[in-house]
Structure 1
Amino acid sequence: MPVATPDRIPPADLLVVTGAGDWPADCAARLPGLPMIASSLAYQLPVEAPRAAEFRSRLKAITASSPAEASVFDDYLGTRRPITVVGTPQTDALPRHTPEPGTVLVLTSVTRSSQTGGSAPGTELLLAAAERLAAAGKHILVGLHPREDRSLWERYEISSVPSVQASARAEAAIGIPGTVFPVVAAVGVPLVGCTDPRLQIPGYLLSVCSHTITAADAAVSAVAEAKPVSRDVLYEAVGPIGGSARRLLKVWRKSGIRV
């Protein structure tokens, strides 16, 4: 796939932004002649972004994965306009849930900050929870975040496939609620969320958790009692399942047509 940089911008028909932070806002300012669309591909918070006003009047369309994500994205952009719910492309080819007895998937975040980005509150709780689960006889399967320190988890099995595919093996999953949570829930895996008072998490990500814990000692019982979410809760959080990539690209294609 061709890569564009601020100093090397190839011809284009459409600029797609996934947020309203400094980088997307700077790109929008640098490409004033391109039609724009905003697509929520990772969770935001329901608070208007400081730079959203710089480009929201240029948006030809806005998409989100689910009804709940659309509501949050609307607040984040400050647009107060219809948002097209397209679903999550990751759900277009979900694995079949065939859990292995005693297997728990740990969905890691980033424990230590580095030059590539910050860390998430609650990661130490997740490490401790994994230790409690292993001590209780659970087989720990780790879905490793791309920026996570691998050495912290090498005592366990680290999945060789992405977390959504790995979740098919798990009786339950535990982690800090994030973008992947609704997708794992769509596989049929019960989820336990590790929460920290310092971390702001949208309600719809918490809604797919069967339980949330704030202490590692609660991990074993929470995993044992975890149940899959209902269809209604799942739809609100993840959106329509199947055909999502096609729906998303259809909106992009229509928005990029020059008239």
Structure 2
Amino acid sequence: MARHDKITDGASSSSSLLAEGRFALGLFLGVVIALGLYLATSAFEQEISRREAIELVPAVVALMVAFVSLLISFQALSEQRKMRQAGTDPVLIAHLSGRKDHPILTMLRFSNVGAGAATNVRVSIADEAWPELLERTRLKRENFLRPYAAILQGAHLEYAMHVAHELLGDSPLSPFAVTLEYEDIDGGKYKSEHLIDVQELSGQGVNSPTETKVANALEKIQRDLGHFASGFKTLGVVTENREERLKRERMEHEELRAELEKAKKRDKE
């Protein structure tokens, strides 16, 4: 679920009304209705001859053609305005995404996919969702109390939630609603609502991208070359559990006792 609404324009209401052509359309429609009522009243009050009726036909037809032309112009102006908004207005969306270098970590991301910068961005999450979010994710309520200054075109903000299998598991995190309120550079206000559902991540791959593998390999090569240049020798680390450690220490103790016994026999001889 995603809903986007433009609440107000940055320009004044009067200029906006005139720019969209609504005033002209309403005025012309009022004139047509008034003229139609006048003609209808005149026809009922006095008889109109055949000649007078024929003379009125061109005027009525011209009026209808003008009205249809105005409607077409208004529709074209509305479409042109929508295209202009699509080329200049910011559009923020809230969605889930994995980190590029660590895909298994699920991020709550706010992306600007529009064509302008979004300013004074406010993020709000439904109150009933916070108890579960605080318990099962790394999100903090205080992170969303203050507005963000700006999210530039093509940029995003993101917050780590948790690794994917912790959010899904046997009991997936419940869907929750996110509301975004923001402005464009002219002061126009926007509002959008989004439903975040972690179950959409089910079945998605979490393999590290090739770029990450290449970067890790280059980092390892750089570290090894640095060790080689400084004469530092790589240390080997052996891991073992408690049982293995006790077994090893017992064997070393027995070997040490055996060596002591051999040393005593040699001394006696």
TM-score w.r.t. length of structure 2? 0.24
Larger radius of gyration: 2
Greater strand content:
2
TM-score w.r.t. length of structure 1? 0.25
Greater helix content:
2
